[in-house]
Structure 1
Amino acid sequence: MKTEMSSVDIKYIVEELQSLVGARIDKVYHDGNILRVKLHKAGEGRKDLLIQAGKRVHLTTYIKESPSPSSFAMLLRKHLSGRFLDGIEQYDFDRIVKLKVGEYTLIAELFKRGNVVLIDGESKILGALRYEEFKDRAIKPGHEYKLPPARESPVDVEWERFKELLLEEEVEVVRALARKFNMGGLFAEEILLRAGIEKTRTAKELSEEELKLIFEKMKEVFSAPKKAQIVYKDGELFDVLPIELKQYESLEKKYFETFSEALDEYFGKITVDEAKKELTKRLEDKKRSLLHTLKRQEEMMKGFEAQAEKNQALGDLIYANFMLVENLLSEFKKAVEKLGWDEFKRRIEEGKKAGNKVAMMVKGVNPKDKAVTIELNGQKITLYLDRSIGENAELYYEKAKKAKHKLEGAKEAYKKTLKKIQEVEKLIEEELKKEINVKKLERRKKKWFEKFRWFISSEGFLVIGGKDATTNEMVVKKYMSENDWYCHADVYGAPHVVIKEGKKASEKTLFEACQFAVSMSKAWSRGVFSEDAYYADPSQVTKQAPSGEYLGKGAFMVYGKRNWMHGLPLKLAVGIVKYEDEELPMCGPVDAVKAHTNRYIVIRPGRLKKSELVKKLKHILEKWGYKVSEEDLMAILPPGNGDVEEIRE
């Protein structure tokens, strides 16, 4: 079962993670040997990049509750939060990933024990997950960070160099490939399988044509189209790969759109299983101990039951053969009194040799206890010569009684142990039902307009607005058409708002869109309660700046007559609305939300931090039976603090 990513895996994931370039780093979380970098990508929203030292790097939806930030997390937040990811690359086909953030570089070492190191522009170490010192380098603050010696890349190597490197080795060709090109045994075997060459042969015994074929198949493997997958063996997780492998043809597979999704599902499942095991480890240990006790008690009960049955049967046997046993007792007693025990024993032995029936019945003589053991109907019975036949029988009945008493005690103890096991099993079940500290973010596929600020007007028109310079630019240049209306608040930094097919709408939708424009502007964070806005024809909106001026990204000019609306209230509502057969959390003007749902929460600018407001809204919506993530609520709310003014149920 795979436990860490290979250099090949890292090649493919780094290619895929290029989509993160330009994302803003929000926060960095640290727990054990795992870092999670929370990013925001314009137009796409939240992304979580997970780095596990010595193991893996990929986007994740499995979020572990983080403890109080460590000193390393605080160091990373200080230097990286608010900055943008400028680049991500693999170092020389090695298990090293470098993330460029301004003048800083975050280096993820995914080999051996692994590490994560932050360096400045001069390669000086600012901090690390773990400080270490080796023969040839030291991971300590202030020291220069030294990368390991460069490894040959199977992707870039030329034919002559490839041949030269392989022929240097005296080992099997599979080991030579894995060692010289840092690809690992799995991919070395795959290349040789495709080439049809036995992996145990040495490179030097191969012909040039065979070496050439290996070279070609290596290039084929490392240029193969991506087909992210999890491989299962006997129904269990076995491997996770970016491409198809011939050696796995017969195994079950599950395919994914991205390699990150495959890695996340594979390692996330392992993480959750480990967390569950840890959660119940103490209880499982207790259950094992109780099961061991239960087994001992079962054996004891069987023993007591056998003793009771045996002794009861022996007592009954004595009475069933009353006359015979009584005569034997009398004869044995007289013989011992007359001859003594030694002579009695000698006479018994002589009688056995002579075939005497009574002597043949005797199986043992015990002078100390004044007892003779006989065999009767295949059962051995010890008779005490100083006791009557009734007293001898009673001895066995008494033993049976004691065994039965012990059996009852053992049964009670057994029941108690069984009850304890059931209680522990119930506790295990309850623990497993608890929300473990690793949870999967269920990210539904969002509608195209959810990358913007949006709402559905009371008349059913879709209204969209920008969130930042990038999405403001998109709203106007890509999504606004001649059949729409354009709205804007008379506030610096307000979003561009567009009513789709707005020319068909009445003044009610225009009012709602303008109110939305002022509410989603910086006026909300300033805590004001009313502002002005206007609407205009799309033809009036242009990128053409006045002479001598320049319009930056997201900025537009509006020429001609503007239709003003004054004193618009900064007031919105949040509710769950049905749109295109899907329930969506929506934040818009009160009348718009009210038209689509009977339950909604009215909010105003206020003193409650946005994060706290989100928690409050989430709690109310959950009480109504809606499961909404804090991330989704955060995305639809206006910028700045607020308060709940009214709850309508």
Structure 2
Amino acid sequence: MKQEMSSVDIKYIVEELKSLEGARVDKIYHDGNQIRIKFHITGEGRKDLIIEAGKRIHLTTYIKEAPQQPSSFTMLLRKYLSGLRLESIEQYNFDRIVKLKIGDYTLIAELFRKGNVVLVDKDNIIISAMRYEEFKDRVIKPKHEYKLPPARENPVDISWEKFKELISSQEVETVRALARSLNMGGLYAEEILLKAGIEKTKKANELSEEELKNIFDKMKEVFNSPKKPNIVYKDDTPIDVLPIELKWYEGYEKKFFETFSGALDEYFGKITIEGAKLERTKKLQEKKKGLEITLKKQEEMIKGFEKQMQENQEIGDLIYANFTFVENLLRELSKAVENLGWEEFKKRIEEGKKSDNKVAQMIKNVDPKEKAVTIELEGKKVKLYLNKSIGENAEIYYEIAKKAKHKLEGARKAYEDTLKKIQEIEKLIEEEEKKELSVRKLEKRKKKWFEKFKWFLSSEGFLIIAGKDATTNEIVVKRYMSENDLYCHADIYGAPHVVIKDGKKAGEKTIFEACQFAVSMSRAWKEGLYSGDAYWTDPNQVTKKAPSGEYLGKGAFMVYGKRNWMHGLPVKLAVGIVQYEGEELPMCGPLEAVKAHADKYIIIRPGRMKKSEFAKRLTKILERWGYKVDLDELMQILPPGNSEIVEVIE
């Protein structure tokens, strides 16, 4: 089963990830060997890039719960990179190294061996790294120059002459020569030779020029294959994930994807989920395993005590069942030992066995030290002490049986206790498995066109949209404002452009709500103001034409003519879940608007709670009401700056 990406995989994924160029770094998370960068793309929203040192890089929807305490590396990356834009992403020389240029810094993902993630400045000096290391030819430590590992030949760019010289000079199998010298890995080397029809074990220096040319052509063909991302399955189990379709996996079950990131995410995401499942019950499973070992030992002890009790009880009973015989035997043997002594007694017993004496043949062992003999009685070996009576001999076995019975009772109780503990742990494991995983799949619903902006539905049912930044402000006015709409703007610098769709049919209530929205979504919220002024006007009065000698930047417009003012508008909003075209959408808008569309809602105003913490608090309230709202989606609709809850209406 594939565990890390190859150089070929990285070639294809980097081509795909170039769509991230221009995206802004929103937040960075670090856990173990993984770095997750949350990007924001204007008009598209959130994109999460996962970098797992030594293994993989791709967009992901499998979001691992962030550690409660961010690591020092996390804090450093956030300090240097937050808010900056990804300017470029590239693979270094067909190696398993990816360089992300973010502002004046470069984040380098090393995806070979143990791997690493290194942050360098514009002069290529290391600022920090996931792990500090020293090698023979390079040092990964702060204030050292970052040096790339020695480069190998690139199979995509290599010329025919260089290829022929490189491969034909090697006295190794052709498959090894390709895999090692051209940094492509075993699978792609085998694919090329399979397509070329050349035995992979043939020595590279024995290849003819015609064979070498055939291999070269097939190599170029493979590395210029059209992208066809797929996961390969064997017996319903995923075994590989690839950017192109390979002849090597002909006949295998495959699942195809639109993007290579999608395929990688599905493949590695499932591995991550399974890992998270094992991790959350790991300690309990280890404890259960230890108890199961104890239980097995206790089972063996119980069997041992049962056997000991039964055998000794039976021997005691056997002595009494043969009372007369055993009593006479004890008497005769005691006299013999008394008269002959133990050495002579032993000698006479051996002689008696040779002459088929029945009593001598019954005696299996003589123990002078313990003054005892072991006889075979009805197929059982019975040790008899000659200095003890028949009753005392029987009592020895009964006492052993009694002690074994006592130990058996204790062992059975211990066994029951252990079994109970295992059952309790199994119950805890079951409860843990029901809990939400530390890794969740970010299910992306298809958003409505207006959700790329700030928006709300007025109490009269009109759609109001507003820009989030300079880019979306430009789009709202230029692309989405028509002559049947109305335009609103707050009397504060940097306020969003607000458009009431089909606004010329709207009543005073909708216009009031739109103007209040314009004020509340402006800097007035961030500055903690409680009221502000706004105006509305006809779309024809809004233009990009600047006064003579002036220039209007992105998102800036001029308004000429009469403005219809509204003063003292409250800086207050509400959040609720509304129904729109059969979908439940989180909406943040003026109180009367939210109240008209939602039974339950939360009234909010400027406050002291950080936006991220405030969004988490709102999410918990909405979850209590049965609504699962993505935290980032909620963050997008909230006003800028800190907030507080005024009242929760349930």
Q: Could you tell me the TM-score, scaled by structure 2's length?
A: 0.90
Structure 1 position 401, deviation (Å): 1.5
1:378 aligns to what? 379
Kindly provide the amino acid, as one letter, of the partner of residue 379 in structure 1.
Answer: K
Q: Deviations over 1:617-649 (max 9, x none)?
A: 223223323332332221101112232222211
Structure 1 position 73, deviation (Å): 4.1
Structure 2: distance between partners of 1:355 and 1:607: 107
1:212 aligns to what? 213
**Are 1:361 and 2:352 matched, yes or no?**
no
Kindly provide the amino acid, as one letter, of the partner of residue 162 in structure 2.
Answer: R
Moved more, 351-360 or 569-578: 351-360
**Are 1:305 and 2:309 matched, yes or no?**
no
Check 1:224–1:510 CA distance in 2 against 1; reply closer, same or farther (3 A cut): farther
Kindly provide the amino acid, as one letter, of the partner of residue 293 in structure 2.
Answer: H
Q: Does the Cα contact within 8 Å between 2:31 and 2:66 map onto a contact in 1?
A: no
Structure 1 position 586, deviation (Å): 0.8
SS in 2 for 1:578: strand
SS in 1 for 2:480: coil
Q: Does the Cα contact within 8 Å between 1:63 and 1:441 map onto a contact in 2?
A: no
Structure 1: distance between partners of 2:539 and 2:126: 53
**Are 1:11 and 2:26 matched, yes or no?**
no
Q: Does the Cα contact within 8 Å between 1:484 and 1:500 map onto a contact in 2?
A: yes
Structure 2: distance between partners of 1:367 and 1:164: 90
Moved more, 299-308 or 563-572: 563-572
**Are 1:189 and 2:190 matched, yes or no?**
yes
1:82 aligns to what? 83
Moved more, 608-617 or 280-289: 280-289
Moved more, 555-564 or 198-207: 555-564
- Counterparts of 1:184-333 in structure 2, within 5 Å, are 184-233=185-234, 236-271=237-272, 273-274=274-275, 277=278, 280-333=281-334
Q: Deviations over 1:370-423 (max 9, x none)?
A: 433332322222333444433333332222222211211222222233334344
Structure 1: distance between partners of 2:274 and 2:429: 14
- Counterparts of 1:311-460 in structure 2, within 5 Å, are 311-429=312-430, 438-460=439-461
Check 1:114–1:544 CA distance in 2 against 1; reply closer, same or farther (3 A cut): same
Check 1:369–1:131 CA distance in 2 against 1; reply closer, same or farther (3 A cut): closer
Structure 2: distance between partners of 1:137 and 1:345: 83
- Counterparts of 1:110-125 in structure 2, within 5 Å, are 110-125=111-126
**Are 1:26 and 2:21 matched, yes or no?**
no
Structure 1: distance between partners of 2:408 and 2:476: 83
SS in 2 for 1:86: strand
Structure 2: distance between partners of 1:75 and 1:214: 47
Structure 1: distance between partners of 2:490 and 2:304: 90
Q: Deviations over 1:555-599 (max 9, x none)?
A: 334455555444433221101122233222110121221122111
Check 1:365–1:143 CA distance in 2 against 1; reply closer, same or farther (3 A cut): closer
Structure 2: distance between partners of 1:85 and 1:36: 14
SS in 1 for 2:597: coil
Check 1:348–1:125 CA distance in 2 against 1; reply closer, same or farther (3 A cut): closer
Check 1:387–1:199 CA distance in 2 against 1; reply closer, same or farther (3 A cut): same
SS in 2 for 1:261: helix
Check 1:375–1:440 CA distance in 2 against 1; reply closer, same or farther (3 A cut): same
Structure 2: distance between partners of 1:360 and 1:538: 123
Check 1:578–1:249 CA distance in 2 against 1; reply closer, same or farther (3 A cut): farther
2:465 aligns to what? 464
Kindly provide the amino acid, as one letter, of the partner of residue 309 in structure 2.
Answer: A
Q: Deviations over 1:480-536 (max 9, x none)?
A: 344444333333322222333445544433332232222222232233333343444
Structure 1: distance between partners of 2:196 and 2:626: 59
Structure 1: distance between partners of 2:422 and 2:26: 48
Structure 2: distance between partners of 1:318 and 1:95: 82
Q: Which runs of 5+ in 1 are unaligned?
A: none
Moved more, 48-57 or 322-331: 322-331
SS in 2 for 1:478: helix
Q: Does the Cα contact within 8 Å between 2:30 and 2:66 map onto a contact in 1?
A: no
Q: Does the Cα contact within 8 Å between 2:168 and 2:207 map onto a contact in 1?
A: no
SS in 1 for 2:524: helix
2:164 aligns to what? 163
Structure 1: distance between partners of 2:128 and 2:381: 83
1:530 aligns to what? 531
1:601 aligns to what? 602
Q: Does the Cα contact within 8 Å between 2:92 and 2:98 map onto a contact in 1?
A: yes
Structure 1 position 459, deviation (Å): 3.1
Check 1:208–1:478 CA distance in 2 against 1; reply closer, same or farther (3 A cut): farther
Q: Does the Cα contact within 8 Å between 2:519 and 2:571 map onto a contact in 1?
A: yes
Structure 2: distance between partners of 1:226 and 1:545: 48
Kindly provide the amino acid, as one letter, of the partner of residue 488 in structure 2.
Answer: C
Q: Does the Cα contact within 8 Å between 1:49 and 1:60 map onto a contact in 2?
A: yes
Kindly provide the amino acid, as one letter, of the partner of residue 530 in structure 2.
Answer: F
SS in 2 for 1:381: strand
Q: Does the Cα contact within 8 Å between 1:31 and 1:67 map onto a contact in 2?
A: no
**Are 1:104 and 2:102 matched, yes or no?**
no
Structure 1: distance between partners of 2:60 and 2:362: 83
Q: Does the Cα contact within 8 Å between 1:256 and 1:262 map onto a contact in 2?
A: yes
Moved more, 528-537 or 517-526: 528-537
Kindly provide the amino acid, as one letter, of the partner of residue 471 in structure 1.
Answer: T
Check 1:300–1:607 CA distance in 2 against 1; reply closer, same or farther (3 A cut): closer
Structure 1 position 254, deviation (Å): 4.5
Moved more, 12-21 or 625-634: 625-634
Q: Deviations over 1:215-259 (max 9, x none)?
A: 232223222333334444555553332222333344454444433
Q: Deviations over 1:349-376 (max 9, x none)?
A: 4443333433333323334444333323
Q: Does the Cα contact within 8 Å between 1:577 and 1:583 map onto a contact in 2?
A: yes
Kindly provide the amino acid, as one letter, of the partner of residue 467 in structure 2.
Answer: G
Structure 2: distance between partners of 1:405 and 1:483: 95
Structure 1 position 446, deviation (Å): 2.8
Structure 2: distance between partners of 1:365 and 1:123: 89
Kindly provide the amino acid, as one letter, of the partner of residue 588 in structure 2.
Answer: C
Q: Deviations over 1:332-365 (max 9, x none)?
A: 4454455554454444444433334333333233
SS in 1 for 2:315: helix
Kindly provide the amino acid, as one letter, of the partner of residue 56 in structure 1.
Answer: R
Kindly provide the amino acid, as one letter, of the partner of residue 454 in structure 2.
Answer: R
Kindly provide the amino acid, as one letter, of the partner of residue 5 in structure 1.
Answer: M
Structure 1 position 546, deviation (Å): 4.3
Check 1:557–1:176 CA distance in 2 against 1; reply closer, same or farther (3 A cut): same
Structure 1: distance between partners of 2:304 and 2:270: 47
Q: Does the Cα contact within 8 Å between 1:495 and 1:517 map onto a contact in 2?
A: yes
